[in-house]
Amino acid sequence: MYLQKLSLVNFKNLESQSFDFQQKINCFVGNNGVGKTNILDAIYYLSFAKSYFNSVAVQNIRHGEAFFMIEGDYVLNDRNEKIVCSLKKGQKKVLKRNGKNYEKFSEHIGQLPLVIISPADRDLVTEGSDTRRKFIDGVISQQNKNYLKDLLSYNKVLSQRNALLKYFAANRTFDALNLEVYNEQISEYGARIFEVRKRFLEKFIPIFNEKYQIISDDKETVNLVYKSQLNDFSMKDLLQQSLEKDKMLQYTSSGIHKDDLSFEIGSYPIKKFGSQGQQKSYLIALKFAQFEFIKQQSNVVPILLLDDIFDKLDESRVLQIINLVDNDEFGQIFITDTHSERTEDIVKQSNKPYQIFKL
């Protein structure tokens, strides 16, 4: 699979742009603020119907304009595919595949597999567990529609249970039977989500460790640990144990929505004990593992977006990353960088056809 052509109108700071792409490596170089990352985000948008960097859709419309439109021409399994995503202020976002509207955007997820590596990924290290859960869910959901449905259903029932707990507190009442209806549903969805996450991480963690060893040239040992209350208790037991606490807090304090991943280097938290270069290598290894996992599950080679990844990495780590992508396991790659000469020197080493767009 590869993206042949991209056209943008009023997307972020880009008024009107069109690009014809090389099947292997495409680089965008230029100063900060010219829109390199926004072009990658537009490509991301065509796979996920949302921005990687800004979840408020209307804020992706160019300042002073009323709409944006992104159009991509793909080749997928020897078929031509046209994806168009557009948004007009005051209206619903529209996503079309070959001229036909999607009713549910979730139906599109996984059709055009893609992995992005960006400085924004540092949030996975620095932010709370919600960010790391979203990472797990994003990888699994690209290939597992039932998981995505269960996740959406779980979050809906969780919201309803929380609303009921607030109602109990506001009205100084309690209805165990009513609450049990939500407990049953949450337990059912939660147990299935936990099992899928556990099986996924059993496959994913060895891939991640292998990628990190390559990037670090076997100089460091890292680990990725799945932390879940469901490792020790059933979802039903957790809800029962936390009932009094939930009534007091007016929200559901236990469950798979509290799952987390522990990022470790030499058995210590990488957030506190890892250098900038080590943290960046860790995140890049995570994303390369995501790429490998999606490719194995879908039998489609994902598009890879590399946003400013060579910054803050020493030469040996850059070389290991190039060695990783310098094989036929990778398909189309998009790279952004502020240094034109550095980019050209790096991509030349890959021995793959490349194209450089100077912005």
pLDDT along the chain (359 residues), means of 10: 96 96 92 92 96 94 97 94 97 96 90 92 93 94 90 96 97 95 97 97 94 86 94 95 96 96 93 90 92 89 90 74 74 90 83 88
For position 282, what pLDDT does the model report? 92
pLDDT of residue 156: 97
**What's the token pair of residue 147?**
């998981």
Strands 2-11 and 354-358 come out as unpaired
pLDDT of residue 317: 75
Torsion (CA) 192, 193, 196, 201 in degrees, nearest 10: -150
Over its C-alpha atoms, the chain yields an Rg (Å, rounded) of 22
Query: How many residues does this entry show for the chain?
Result: 359
Beta strands at 14-20 and 2-11: parallel, antiparallel or unpaired: antiparallel
Q: How far apart are the first and last CA of the chain?
A: 26
Q: Tell me the CA distances in angstroms from 277 to 42, 122, 135, 308, one per residue in order.
A: 28, 11, 21, 13
Residue 45: what residue type? Y
For 105, 140, 181, the CA distances from 156, given in Å and listed in that order, are 17, 19, 13
Could you read off the pLDDT of 130-153 as tens digits, one per residue? Answer: 999 999 999 998 889 899 999 999
Question: Per-residue pLDDT tens for 146-188?
Answer: 999 999 999 999 999 999 999 999 999 999 999 999 999 999 9
Of the candidates 52, 56, 82, the residue with the CA atom closest to the CA atom of residue 70: 82
Distance, CA of 15 to CA of 44 (rounded, Å): 18
Q: How many CB atoms lie within 10 A of CB 6?
A: 21
Q: Specify whether the CB–CB gap between 343 and 350 falls below 8 A.
A: no
Per-residue pLDDT at 217: 82
pLDDT number for residue 168: 96
Cβ atoms 107, 171 nearer than 8 A: no
Report the alpha-carbon distance of residue 15 to residue 114 in Å, rounded. 25
256: its two tokens: 């798979």
What does pTM read for this prediction?
0.88
Write the CA distances from 170 to 29, 158, 183, 249, 250, integer angstroms. Answer: 57, 18, 20, 12, 10
Closest by CA to 2, choosing from 302, 267, 278, is 302
Token pair listed for 77: 């399994």
**Domain architecture of the chain: domains with CATH:** 1-113+300-359 (3.40.50.300), 124-298 (1.20.1050.90)
Q: What is the pLDDT of residue 321?
A: 79
pLDDT value, residue 322: 74
